Amino acid sequence: MSRTEAFDGGPFSPFWWHDKETLYHNKFRVTLDHKVNPKILREAWDKTKKVYPLIDWVPDIKEGSMIFYHEDGKNDPIESRVPILPGGELTAHRVFALTYYEDTVTMSAYHCIVDGGGINAIFSTMIYFYLEAYTGKGEETPPVMTKEDRPPKDYFIPLSSVDRGDFERQPLITYPKRKGMFIDLDMCPDEDGEISIARIKVPVGAFIGACKKIGANPSAMLAILMAKAAYALHPDRFGDLAFVLTMSTRAAFGIEESIANCSANLLIPVQYQDITGDEMSKAASKIRSVIDYQRRQDFLKTLTEFYETYDWILAKRYAFLTYIGKLDVGENTKHIKAFEMTDDSTDSMYMMELNGEFVISFQFGKVTEKYMGIIREILLSFGVESEVETETYHIVKDSAEAVC
């Protein structure tokens, strides 16, 4: 087998060993308004590899660094109704897998290589190329990256490799009080080890309108919804909560085009009296102010330095909240009828915009359906009607074999 070193990606991520072992990888899936054309999909995937050559290389660990290699073997799209395991024989040990079946296309990837923003960038480019060829219509100025043959150092930029320069260290956000805080112990896989997920969709205009009424932004609103759900489902608990808001640090570090894992975990403390009181604008203001503080460049640099020293966030959070952004490939976005993102989490809520609607996913172990139901009621109390897009089901594990 021919193997030549292509790129030194820097210090390896602690996610590496988890990615090697888990059958639940970060995944993006879209449902199209037509049956997938395999030939066009393969051509679009090949074009995407020219924009992001690194996705066709094989990573490995060498002296503490993530090294990418040119290696024999092909990683073509695979027809399978079950997502293919990245890093295995069917993907020629590439850590990006592309699967299609009937009207769906799914990308799976190692989290140590990319975060949700990175997958979104690569996946959007691939879907753009596919729909451009399928419809015969493209964009004069594509909303995705299409420039070919860029060196990997231009788009694979882990935070650990960025020179942060001089910055003023900021106090980290901590819990107001940990005594009495609680988590939902039913946010765990069921007796068979299965993880449940469900999705709703709400009109973007109605959701943003509700945010504006109380002075929240979308991320703060996710925290409010989740906090109100927690207290509603646990009426005997009065302790404070803490959520983790995952966000991209690309803009703060000036690495907007990086596909590497560039996420920061912001701590959002929430107090019982704020969430259960009559003045929801007060709760929104407090949550938004703590988010805004943590989005400042100096804070994010301080937090990144903390990660590199201690490797992980402070513990005891109720749930992860992620506002991914927008799936946009131009005019052809109308051919995408549904979107889903999954991983191996059992305490996460994700939100992404598609065709004028927010798709909100719930991954809460055994209690996914309970949280979806109560949050729909809470949204309605804010004047936002929702629709169930996907009933509760078990996340499908990645497979080492194609399943047709």
pLDDT by residue (tens digit) across 301-337?
998 888 777 765 555 788 999 998 899 999 999 999 9
pLDDT at 12: 83
pLDDT tens string 243-288: 999 989 898 889 999 999 888 889 999 999 999 988 899 999 999 9
Query: Within the chain, which residues score under 70 in pLDDT?
Result: 1, 311-315
Are 202 and 351 spatial neighbours (Cβ–Cβ below 8 Å)? no
- Residue 315's pLDDT is what? 59
Which residue reads 């993530």 in tokens?
Answer: 66
Domains in the chain, CATH or no CATH each: 3-160 (3.30.559.10), 167-394 (3.30.559.30)
- Residue 181: phi and psi, rounded to 5, are -65, 150
Whose tokens are 């402070």? That residue is 314
Element (H, E) at 270: strand 263-270
Tokens representing 174? 């901590």
- Of 81, 34, 357, 318, the residue nearest 199 (C-alpha): 357
